[in-house]
Every structure is written in structure tokens, then in C-alpha cells.
């Protein structure tokens, strides 16, 4: 039962400033991917108690005042897509509270996870407070305006606002520092020769991907592609703090990073689930946060600053997991030594800015519809990084659990996401003494194309590989 909606007393349209904010190259890329994803990112925070519902309402109003682009809608606009302030009837609610009786929490959870945001109608952000014995904060953000790091920034900002309002109901956040949203801030200083080298590498990478068919198959249904696939849902697997501790120790012994282990375990789990023939090339995409190229003080804000890297491994039946970790580490280290994640934006950025957006949309739709149903696109893994439990603490207590979820990906695509919560540090405990740490594996998919038990088994095998 929905109990409240915000009054909308903050004039978010007036706070935007310019009449329109031009969509960046990466915003446009996310819009083009809208035919194979629902373009909605999620941030979930399970609290130890409850928060006054009037504070939630006011906090969302102040969040939009601090990040004015969240108060806009996306306008494809034919050739020049942009974000414009919501006006009149389009200024719909951004906040709601839903009562969750103990026997209905899972059903409500799955319903919320499958509710996408419509960026063309707005809002670009919304908050649901799922109220059971405790409150669960469920934030949704349109991928057209921001990425996983943007969801994390919104959660931190929202928690900061809630803490401040609890002590001073008249508190308002200080004026934010305007952050540049485009790729120019990263490519600036690279010089024409540097950008040309990166674009050339991107072109070679595109040719390699074109010559590497995706041999992954997860029993998808022929002819069911894109948003036509029904039964949107998520499958999650929470790894305990003890599992995370063992993973870190193993990474130390192997001389690898935690991300190397995660990528290797994903590849192994896919191979064990699909069982491709020997010596089959298995391509994999992974997301790269381009904020790594920015100074620490300029990495915040709501914006799309993520790209992809590409990994191609040969499937060797019976290969020990330790050997696979070493192969992944070697390949990842080689890419980190270059311009990791920049090649594709350097190649596609000028095209996305210069080409008519309507034409790009039609081309993307035609390419999607031309793909055969039973084959998967190159699978993707996204590491959202770790949430800081101290920055999500309310009433002095860190959350019981917190994680980010990726968009639902429709066939022929498939994506897995990894989200962490903090580290085993003094004071990082919930009110019940539980450690506020852990890792959540998640995948959003359409059950009409991929059966839930297949995805559940995939995540189980991934954890088994991590614990070996």
C-alpha cells in the first residue's frame, strides 16, 4: 500500500538553469542501448531501523536541488538529444512509501526491481521506501543520465541530507560545484596524436570483436529479442564477510586483484554452465569507470563516465582455476598499462556527437533485430566497487546490507554485476553486531528467454570458484 508521495515544493525546473542540457556522447550511447536494456540502475540500502517518512520526502527534494539534472526529462529531439526541466503534469512523484507485510516482501522486492524508469516522461530518479520490520531504501536512476558511480553518489548525498535534516529541519545543502559531464575533460591534454592512437586501438578492437562470434549460449529462446521478452526479474547471491575475507587472502596469494578473481570466476562459471567445445574463443566485456583518469576532487556528480574493456580467452576444458586467474591477470595488467576503457569512446565519441541521433537509433534497432534469438551477445561483467557503510550510516548504525543492481538486460544480451559493501574495519558493524561487509552478485534478465534456475546455478558456480 502506497502511503505518501512528495509535495514537490522545490521548483526543480527553476534550479536547472539552462533551458536544456545537451546529452553527452556517453549519454547518447546509453540511449542507443535502450533497446537491449531497461536503462534503470538500482541502489538498495537495508537499514537497521526506520526513518521519519517526512524526512525521506524532503531529502529527495533537496537531492534534486543539489543535482538539478535529476529534475529533467530526456528529449531525443531527432538529431540533438538533450535533458530539459520537467514542467506541469510531467512533474510526477519521485518518492513513495510501500508497506511490506512479512509474507509479501519478496514479491514486492521483485516488483520494484522490474519497474523501469521512463526517462522521456521523467523522473530520472525515484525513491521507494519499502517498510517492513525495518525500512529498505530503494533508489532508481536512469542510466541515460548517470552510471553506477552516480547511483553511489546519490545514495551518499541522500544519507548526508537525511542526517542533516534529522538535526535541523531547515537545513539545505551548500551550492554544488558544477561538474563537466562530457569526455573532453578526460581527452583534454592527450593531444591529437594521443586521441588518434586511442581511436586506432578502438578500431582494431572493434574488428577483433567482429571476428569473434559470441559462443555463449544460456538456452535463450529463438525469436525473442529486446523488450519483447517478458518476465523481467533479478537473481541475487549475497557473499558473506567470511567469503570476502577468503577471497582477499586468495588474491594476495595469487598476486592478483579481487577484480581478477571475479572476472576469472565469471568466465569459469559461464563455461561450466554452457560447456562449449574445447579451444572455443570466449569473448567478455567488462565496464571501466573513466573517473580513474580524473583528479580525486572532480570524480563526483551524476554523469555517465563509464566505458568498456574487451577480454578474449580460449576455453580450455579442465584448466585449473588458478591458471585461469593468472591468464586473466596477465591480460588485465596489459590493458591497464595502456589506455584502459578510452579506446571505444575515442572511436565512437565523435560519431555519436556528429551523426544524427535519429539515424543512429534506427541503425541500432535494425542491428538488434537482425541478430538470431538463441545466441547471446558478448556477456558483460560490471564491478560497481564498494559502498562505504560509514557514509550510509543513519542514527549511528551502518546498514544491514547495501548493494547496487544493474539494468535488466534483454536477449540477446546478458550481464552480471558485482557490488561490495565496505571492509572489515573497526566499528563497521550493524546494530546487531553483524559485520557491514560483503559482496552481492546480481543479474537482471527476462525469464521468457533465460530460465531463473540457469542464472541461479551460474551465480552458485561463480561463488564455488571463488571459494576454491
Locus of grid cell 567470511: 242
- pLDDT for the residue numbered 74: 92
Handedness of CA 338, 341, 344, 349 (dihedral sign): negative
- What the chain holds in terms of domains, given with CATH numbers, is 12-167 (3.30.559.10), 198-466 (3.30.559.30)
- pLDDT for the residue numbered 367: 66
- Eight-state DSSP code of residue 90: G
Locus of grid cell 514537490: 8
- Give the distance between the most distant pair of CA atoms in the chain: 65
Report, as ranges of residue numbers, the positions in the chain whose pLDDT lies below 50. 1-18, 89-90, 373, 424-436
- pLDDT for the residue numbered 143: 95
Of residues 386, 416, 381, 391, the one with CA closest to residue 403: 386
> For residues 185 and 176, what is the distance between their CA atoms, to the nearest angstrom?
18
Grid coordinates given for 392: 550510509
- pLDDT for the residue numbered 205: 67
Distance of CA 161 to the CA centre of its chain: 23
Where residue 366 falls (left for φ over 0; alpha for ψ -120 to 50; beta otherwise) is alpha
> For residues 256 and 251, what is the distance between their CA atoms, to the nearest angstrom?
5
Grid coordinates given for 308: 568498456
- Eight-state DSSP code of residue 2: B
Burial class (CB in 10 A: 0-12, 13-18, 19+), 22: middle
**Complete DSSP assignment for 198-225:** HHHHHHHHHHHHHTS-------PPTT--
Q: At a CB cut-off of 8 Å and minimum separation 6, what does 228 contact?
A: 410
> For residues 259 and 276, what is the distance between their CA atoms, to the nearest angstrom?
24
Of residues 406, 407, 405, 403, the one with CA closest to residue 387: 403
Grid coordinates given for 277: 567445445
282-332: pLDDT as tens digits: 888 899 998 888 887 777 788 999 988 888 888 888 889 999 999 999 999
- pLDDT for the residue numbered 89: 42
Contact, 143 vs 47, CB < 8 A?
Answer: no
Of residues 177, 241, 168, 258, the one with CA closest to residue 389: 241
- pLDDT for the residue numbered 164: 92
182-196: pLDDT as tens digits: 777 777 666 666 666
Q: At a CB cut-off of 8 Å and minimum separation 6, what does 122 contact?
A: 72, 73, 86, 90, 91, 92
> For residues 308 and 341, what is the distance between their CA atoms, to the nearest angstrom?
5
E strand intervals along 53-197: 72-75, 82-85, 95-99, 125-131, 135-142
Where residue 275 falls (left for φ over 0; alpha for ψ -120 to 50; beta otherwise) is left
Helix and strand element counts for the chain (H, E): 13, 14
HEC assignment per residue over 329-343: HHHHHHHHCCCCCCH
- pLDDT for the residue numbered 241: 83
- pLDDT for the residue numbered 7: 30
Three-class SS state of 423: coil
> For residues 325 and 253, what is the distance between their CA atoms, to the nearest angstrom?
12
Q: What are phi and psi of 182, to 5 degrees?
A: -90, 180
Burial class (CB in 10 A: 0-12, 13-18, 19+), 371: middle
- pLDDT for the residue numbered 209: 62
User: Within a 13 Å sphere around the CA of 448, how many CA atoms are in the beta-carbon half?
Assistant: 17
Handedness of CA 55, 60, 64, 67 (dihedral sign): positive
Distance of CA 301 to the CA centre of its chain: 15
Instruction: Tell me the C-alpha to C-alpha distance, in Å, between residue 414 and each of 141, 420, 444, 458.
Output: 20, 21, 8, 12
Amino acid at each position: 500500500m502506497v502511503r505518501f508521495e512528495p509535495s514537490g515544493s522545490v521548483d526543480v525546473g527553476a534550479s536547472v538553469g539552462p533551458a536544456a542540457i545537451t546529452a553527452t556522447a556517453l549519454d547518447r550511447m546509453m540511449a542507443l542501448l535502450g533497446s537491449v536494456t531497461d536503462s534503470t540502475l538500482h541502489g538498495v540500502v537495508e537499514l537497521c531501523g526506520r526513518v521519519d517518512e517526512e524526512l525521506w520526502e524532503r531529502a529527495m527534494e533537496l537531492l534534486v536541488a543539489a543535482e538539478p539534472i535529476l529534475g529533467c526529462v530526456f528529449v531525443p529531439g531527432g538529431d540533438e538529444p538533450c535533458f530539459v526541466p520537467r514542467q506541469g503534469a510531467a512533474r510526477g512523484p519521485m518518492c513513495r512509501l510501500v508497506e511490506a507485510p512479512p509474507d509479501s516482501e519478496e514479491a514486492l522486492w521483485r516488483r520494484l526491481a522490474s519497474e523501469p524508469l521512463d526517462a522521456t516522461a521523467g523522473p530520472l530518479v525515484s525513491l521507494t521506501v519499502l517498510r517492513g520490520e525495518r525500512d529498505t531504501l530503494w533508489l532508481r536512476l536512469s542510466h541515460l543520465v548517470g552510471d553506477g558511480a552516480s547511483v553511489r553518489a546519490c545514495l551518499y548525498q541522500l544519507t548526508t541530507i537525511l542526517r542533516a535534516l534529522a538535526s535541523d529541519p531547515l537545513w539545505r545543502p551548500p551550492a554544488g560545484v558544477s561538474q563537466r559531464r562530457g569526455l573532453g575533460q578526460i581527452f583534454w591534454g592527450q593531444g591529437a596524436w594521443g586521441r588518434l592512437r586511442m581511436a586506432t586501438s578502438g578500431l582494431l578492437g572493434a574488428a577483433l570483436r567482429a571476428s569473434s562470434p559470441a559462443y555463449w549460449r544460456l538456452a535463450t529462446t529463438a525469436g525473442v529479442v529486446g523488450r519483447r521478452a517478458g518476465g523481467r526479474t533479478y537473481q541475487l547471491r549475497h557473499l558473506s564477510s567470511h567469503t570476502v575475507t577468503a577471497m582477499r587472502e586468495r588474491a594476495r596469494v595469487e598476486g592478483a586483484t579481487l577484480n581478477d578473481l571475479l572476472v576469472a570466476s565469471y568466465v569459469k562459471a559461464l563455461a561450466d554452465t554452457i560447456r562449449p567445445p574445447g579451444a572455443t574463443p570466449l569473448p567478455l566485456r567488462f565496464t571501466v569507470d573513466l573517473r580513474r583518469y580524473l583528479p580525486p576532487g572532480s570524480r563526483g556528480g551524476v554523469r555517465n563516465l563509464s566505458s568498456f574493456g574487451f577480454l578474449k580467452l580460449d576455453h580450455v576444458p579442465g584448466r585449473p582455476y588458478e591458471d585461469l586467474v593468472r591468464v586473466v591477470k596477465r591480460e588485465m595488467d596489459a590493458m591497464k598499462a595502456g589506455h584502459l576503457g578510452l579506446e571505444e569512446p575515442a572511436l565512437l565519441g565523435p560519431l555519436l556527437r556528429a551523426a544524427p541521433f535519429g539515424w543512429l537509433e534506427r541503425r541500432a534497432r535494425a542491428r538488434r533485430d537482425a541478430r538470431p534469438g538463441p545466441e547471446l551477445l558478448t556477456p558483460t561483467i560490471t564491478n560497481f566497487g564498494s559502498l562505504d557503510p560509514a557514509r550510509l550510516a543513519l542514527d549511528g548504525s551502518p546498514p544491514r546490507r547495501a548493494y547496487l543492481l544493474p539494468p535488466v538486460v534483454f536477449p540477446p544480451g546478458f550481464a552480471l554485476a558485482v557490488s561490495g559493501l565496505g571492509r572489515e574495519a573497526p566499528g563497521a558493524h550493524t546494530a546487531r553486531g553483524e559485520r557491514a561487509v560483503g559482496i552481492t552478485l546480481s543479474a537482471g534478465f527476462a525469464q521468457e528467454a533465460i530460465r531463473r534456475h540457469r542464472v541461479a546455478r551460474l551465480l552458485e558456480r561463480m561463488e564455488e570458484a571463488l571459494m576454491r
